[in-house]
Structure 1
Amino acid sequence: MLGRVTIQQLQTFREVMRTGSISEASRVLGRTQPAVSAVIANLEGQLGFALFLREHGRLTPCPEAHYLLEEAEDILERLARTTRSMAEFANRQRGSLRIACHPAASGFFVPSLLAGFLTDRPDVKADLMMRSSQVVTDLVASQEYDIGLAETPSARTSILSQSWDLECVLALPAENPFPADRPLTPQDLHDYPMATLFDDHSTNQATEAAFARAGATLNRRFVLRTFLPAIQLVAHGMCASLVDRITARSCPKAGIVFRAFDPAIRSSVAILEPAHRPQSLLAQAFRAELARQLDQLERWVPAA
């Protein structure tokens, strides 16, 4: 019965074929001649026939040895390729990422982070999808996407999430009448044109409540679906807007300044991961970098 041929046997056999002698193969392999001779003898015993003619201290390969060499070269090359690929996976140098993010993060924040992450990873491919927070949540819940970044959703068993409760900042035209040495309040912004999100969004509701408590008028000149359009409106001097920090850090600064606002209006975002399949090492590394960037964003202090 044919025994199990080992990788070591194939490597030793290949070196004997390449060098033409047991002594030279042993030198290349860093093993003793008796050890190399024993490996070849065991291989022949498992195969059930001789691979070499041994005459006057010389080895002459049989026809079967040339066929086995072709097979051994193919097997060992595939093993070497697989070993290299596994090392690249271990070093996060190979693989793919599927990322879904909400609009605020899609224009600059996530693409910029992804570009930095992939700078030294030319063999990594990425699929970046921009959708509403609800759709991002569904994409991750489907277990088809590796990472999601969205407004914090309700708890779902199909998703793992980590949230950041980020304080919104006040975007103002660079030329504005407000003091620059303290956080601004609803009284400061009484009847000043504002861009807010739609009625049911939590940031708009919190803003309305803050103005009502202060007895100030909230002038909602622009009602938007996302924060991104507010940046252009503010830059053109048409309004102010309380925007999330991802939008604030992503926008061009020309024509805009940022101020703290009192009371704090918060926007919660979360990193989402599929709960029912393990993450690749590459996805774990990207998630760690995304979390680090959100930690930095949480600590960002706009000019008073």
Structure 2
Amino acid sequence: MAYTCPKPKDAIEPMNLSFRQLQTFREVMRTGSISEASRALGRTQPAVSAMIAGLERELRYPLFLREHGRLTPRPEAYYFLEEAEAVLERLAQSARIMDEIGKLDHGRLRIACHPAASGFFMPRVLARFLDGRPGVEAALMMRSSAVVEDLVASQEYDIGLAETPGARGAIRTEDFALPCLLAIPRASPLAARDRIGPADLDGHPLATLFDAHHTWRATRAAFEQAGARLNRRFVLQTFLPALELVAAGLCCTLCDRITAASHAGDRVVFRPFDPAIVSSVSILTPAHRPPSLLARAFGIHLRDALQQIAAS
């Protein structure tokens, strides 16, 4: 038989106060009578009287002196009124906040993003989403794709955008296969072509990403298959600086579409490349907790922006 520790003699039984009791008490204190409070609350006088009596039973002492059919607040009633108003205001504030959350006007977003999208694309997408939502706070963390994956897998970040990872139980992915574009100096004769392949770039200086990146391996394979010479002049970590080199007329580069969409200069033009070299990115979300309404809405907004890039 389980042993139950005896309750100390001076232990206080927990109170079971309700929102309606506090609301009724405040109205009685404000109006000064049961009849006026009942009219203000839209309830019968017996119902209001019973509510006050029940409140006093929970508190274990009277709040009013009852004489000749009138209620006179005791000193304890004025003290309790301050507490009741504080509780009711906190509940009202919570109700307002929850209503704003339901309307996506309040809350927090934690976003992790790989470098290609962090400079321009993701801030623009986030700015459009937050327009008209001053109560939403957002944290935007730029990290490598591998770190973005870990941040989302930790279940602490609401959403991530990164190069498509391998299968992982702690994250969900929504993948987008985006064919790269060839960035060309506007002054180059190649800019007059509608589509460009390895033979057109035979011996032409190129900027590529590092050896381990899949776009470099795919580019090298495409040139080898076409029998074209690959002149790798620049090796970079991301495509964004490559576009500055292209704008200076120093090279061409196969560029992911997110970086291409972020470029604002007029000295670079973009053309499709054949064979297609795909840069796959994914929206990452935590697998072990449901998304907030706000995170879900932002995920849809981000998906729409990526689909627009894919279709452009």
TM-score if structure 1 supplies the norm length?
A: 0.92
The reply on whether 1:201 has 2:213 as its aligned counterpart is yes
2:225 is aligned with 1:213: yes
Contact 2:191 2:269 (C-alpha < 8 Å) held by counterparts: no
| Aligned equivalent of 2:148 | 136
Q: Which residue pairs with 1:251 in the alignment?
A: 263
Tell me, yes or no, if the aligned pair for 1:2 and 1:48 is still in contact at 8 Å: no
d(CA) in 2 for partners of 1:147, 1:138:
12
Paired residue for 1:183, among 175, 195, 199? 195
SS of the equivalent of 1:230 reads helix
Q: How does 1:1-304 map to 2 (within 5 A)?
A: 4-178=16-190, 180=192, 182-300=194-312
Give, in angstroms, the shift of residue 181 of structure 1.
5.3
SS at match of 1:178: helix
Give the Cα–Cα distance (whole angstroms) in 1 for the partners of residues 198 and 24 of structure 2.
81
Tell me the amino acid that sits aligned with residue 263 of structure 2. C
Unaligned runs of 5+ in 2: 1-12
Task: Report Cα offsets for 1:155-198 as digits up to 9, x if no partner.
Answer: 11122111111010111111110263531122222212111112
Mean Cα deviation higher: 140-149 or 10-19: 140-149
Q: Which moved more, 1:4-13 or 1:82-91?
A: 82-91
SS state at 1:182 partner: coil
Instruction: Please tell me whether the aligned partners of residues 180 and 254 of structure 2 are also in contact (alpha carbons under 8 angstroms).
Output: yes
Paired amino acid for 2:262: S
The separation in 1 between residues aligned to 2:87 and 2:22, in whole angstroms, is 9
TM-score (norm 2): 0.90
251-260 or 47-56: which moved more? 47-56
Change (3 A) 1:9 1:297: same
Q: Give CA-to-partner distance per residue, 1:120-144, whole Å, 9 cap, x none.
A: 2223222211121112112222223
Distance between the aligned counterparts of 1:41 and 1:125, measured in 2? 45
CA 1:82–1:245 in 2, change beyond 3 Å: closer, same or farther?
Answer: same
- Structure 1 unaligned spans of 5+: none
CA distance in 2, matches of 1:53, 1:39: 16
Deviation at 1:48? 4.1
Instruction: Give the count of matched residue pairs.
Output: 300
Q: Would the aligned equivalents of 1:196 and 1:204 in 2 still touch at CA under 8 Å? A: yes
Deviation for aligned residue 1:7: 1.1
**2:164 and 2:280 in contact (8 A); partners too:** yes
Q: For 1:283, what is the secondary structure of its paired residue?
A: helix
SS at match of 1:267: strand
1:29-63: CA deviation from partner (whole Å, max 9, x where unpaired): 12233322232233334444432233344321122
Aligned partners of 1:132 and 1:71: how far apart in 2? 51
Deviations 1:247-286 (A, max 9, x none): 0001113211111111111000111122223322222222
The CA distance in 2 between the partners of 1:225 and 1:66, in whole Å, is 69
